[in-house]
Amino acid sequence: MLSYIGVSKGYGGQLALDGIDLDCAEAATTVLIGPSGCGKSTLLRLAAGLIRADAGEVWFEGAPLGAENLRAARLRMGYMIQEGGLFPHLSVRANVELMARELGWPTSKRRERLAELAELVQLPATLLDRFPLELSGGQRQRAALMRALMLDPDLILLDEPLGALDPMIRVELQRELAAIFQRLHKTVLMVTHDLAEAVFFGDQLVLLRAGRIVQQGSAQALLQSPAEPFVAEFVNAQREPQRVLMEVSQGLSAPVF
């Protein structure tokens, strides 16, 4: 569904990604983890076509992403950037409905989808007519998630989607989202700083360091057979590494919080 083939990307002469080869399998969730600045968001931006690789190619649905197919591809992707990226001059409703309006969805269809998504992310209907600055950080994040899901995309790109949520809503939304992704066979590429969340969502975990993939595979492999000392260091730097390890060994039956 989405593949990176020998992808490198630099900003102003500084290499942010260095020869990335990665396959994000269809109907599976791939989670990018790694220290700040290792290139996670850059991988999402490349998939969304916001930036172009200096070397290598990004393939989506069997074709390399390029000027000629980008718009059509983008309509099949939902992308939630870090901090949400809502337009400040538009209400939540207008933000979420933006692309659906542009595509000519009738009002009834837009309203129906909006209500469905508001229920999913537990955003009270009374907040839909507010502007982003009139919401809390967690409410903004939920609105941004609604916008990313509005067109029912095949590929969902999520950059720290649940970071600003309070723990209770976060756990509930994790469960709901994971169930939806699975039920609707969504292909998801997600960034999180939280290893427990990565383990919960990820069919495949990809650990990056300084623009390179250090290890990729199942949570079990990553946690129980680290490819190099850095992997274990990264795991041990988490808030509760033992708990994450224990949950993994018990079969990932529940969110590890």
* Residues that bind ligand ATP in the complex, under the rule CB under 6 A: 11-12, 16, 34, 36-42, 82
Cβ distance to ligand ATP smaller for residue 16 or 31: 16
Cβ distance to ligand ATP smaller for residue 97 or 159: 159
Q: Min. distance of Cβ 159 from ligand ATP in angstroms?
A: 7
**Tokens of residue 209, six digits:** 């360091």
Q: Are 82 and 160 in contact (CB under 8 A)?
A: yes
Q: Classify 192 as helix, strand or coil.
A: coil
Q: Min. distance of Cβ 9 from ligand ATP in angstroms?
A: 8
Q: Min. distance of Cβ 206 from ligand ATP in angstroms?
A: 11
Query: Which of 236, 244, 232, 160 is closest to 196 using CA atoms?
Result: 244
Query: Which of 15, 43, 35 is closest to 214 using CA atoms?
Result: 35
Q: Min. distance of Cβ 188 from ligand ATP in angstroms?
A: 17
Q: Min. distance of Cβ 193 from ligand ATP in angstroms?
A: 6
Cβ distance to ligand ATP smaller for residue 46 or 123: 46
| Alpha-carbon gap, residue 79 to 98, rounded angstroms | 13
Cβ distance to ligand ATP smaller for residue 46 or 96: 46
| Alpha-carbon gap, residue 150 to 156, rounded angstroms | 11
The dihedrals phi and psi of 182, each to the nearest 5 degrees, come to -70, -45
Cβ distance to ligand ATP smaller for residue 45 or 140: 45
